[in-house]
Structure 1
């Protein structure tokens, strides 16, 4: 069943469109003329949509897509160039960082569906998502060095997805990479034919959404928290998470269903 969220803008003039199909919400960047640049208004609209989804128990997975010839061209350079103060630029980059953190801290997994170019902060947006499915036509770049503005904030997400030398090569040259290279580097999780991009992403989102929402939420949070811990601390933390997980209804239901050879009936708690 397809439904438009009553809490989101759904008209075609909105910067971010939301469409729900069962437990999967698709957020679509809708500023094709600006190549979906992350202007202050675009970032605010996307952040608001994510906040609404975070509090929506009916949604268990999110797809982040885009209309137009680009997935996302990064920051709006005209807007940036029109800001004359240090405080103004600091506020813009802080807003962008908060948006990326909102994706990471969102209870639901977020899958980027990349059909075309994702550059600079657009590449950061892809790297910040939990998964990313790209068509073969997609390209990725952090080209700030070409215009005298090193992609320092995109570097944070990029360097947490790919090896140091791969990240540095992208950052120091600004050269674009194709989808197959991005997959080999670990920037994206899947590459599919362009004609199959929507179906493949939808199928992946539906598979994730068919799992216990409680379990996925708990696991996503634990994944990111343990990444920055020393090994022994990570094991201690993860052991505590699994102990807590075992006390939940869905863990008992899932194990019982496996033993009894039946499908689990999730309560998402």
Structure 2
């Protein structure tokens, strides 16, 4: 049922969202996209959550769009055109919510992250992957070039690597994905959740407001000309420096004690 597609667990300021459709390898069906979107909207307004972990139930992180659902849409008079247009628009809107979310988002990837599933991982701020995980934008193997997944992928890995993945349909094993910048950390399968949790706890221990302004500035300055990037981030630094908790953090560092953050 739709209400079971996402499972949420909150502990210590960390929200863990689990895509819960293991029988479909957590495919991004219309219903799944709607549920992820709704949960991200709730998190955007949630002041108590400092970090988000996104993971998949079962043996895969996410296998991309639901091909059976997409094929069924071809039975309409327009051969599915309106359905496909809405699907890709909704999916793109959902992906764009991830960098806009105030909290850092960590993708915890086991098994495979393919096509739009790879896009989902790449849209997160960081990725922790099992050592045997694999990443692919392999739609070309079935005649569908992964054009929308390409957007997120090309913002994480060098263009030549992305183009090779997109045109060959070949998978990157987790160690190679880490080498090219798609993955931040790898871990043995049995230690994947603990490794992800440890990273999340590190982020959650920082001043929440500083991480929030930092994430916003990180994405806002990307792609700007150098002078505009410095102007934007300089203004963010001034705002940050004027906070009471930043003053306290610097005083605590100089006095060699833990900060007393409000």
Q: Aligned residue for 1:207?
A: 202
Q: Aligned residue for 1:163?
A: 158
Q: Aligned residue for 1:25?
A: 15
State the 1:12 CA deviation: 11
Q: Aligned residue for 1:76?
A: 66
Q: Aligned residue for 1:7?
A: none
How many residue pairs align between the two structures?
Answer: 257
In 2, are the aligned partners of 1:127 and 1:161 still within 8 Å (CA)?
yes
Q: Aligned residue for 1:60?
A: 50
Q: Aligned residue for 2:218?
A: 223
State the 1:261 CA deviation: 1.0
Distance 1:262 1:146 in 2: 57
Distance 1:182 1:255 in 2: 37
Residues 85-139 of structure 1, C-alpha deviations (whole Å, 9 max, x = no match): 3222111001110111111100000000011100000000000000000011100
Match of 2:126 among 128, 131, 135: 131
Match of 1:239 among 231, 234, 241: 234
TM-score by length of 2: 0.96
**Does 257-266 or 148-157 show the bigger shift?**
257-266
Distance 2:219 2:260 in 1: 28
Q: Secondary structure at the match of 1:72?
A: coil
1:203–1:113 distance in 2 versus 1, CA, 3 Å: same
Distance 1:108 1:239 in 2: 21
List, as ranges, runs of 4+ consecutive aligned residues in structure 1 with deviation greater than 6 Å.
none
Distance 2:243 2:205 in 1: 17
In 2, are the aligned partners of 1:215 and 1:250 still within 8 Å (CA)?
no
State the 1:20 CA deviation: 0.5
In 1, are the aligned partners of 2:109 and 2:130 still within 8 Å (CA)?
yes
State the 1:53 CA deviation: 1.4
Distance 1:19 1:53 in 2: 12
State the 1:13 CA deviation: 6.7
Match of 1:103 among 73, 98, 108: 98
Q: Secondary structure at the match of 1:228?
A: coil
The answer to whether 1:191 aligns with 2:178 is no
Structure 2, unpaired ranges of 5+: 74-78
**Does 242-251 or 102-111 show the bigger shift?**
242-251
Structure 1, unpaired ranges of 5+: 1-10
Q: Secondary structure at the match of 2:128?
A: strand
The answer to whether 1:260 aligns with 2:255 is yes
The answer to whether 1:14 aligns with 2:4 is yes
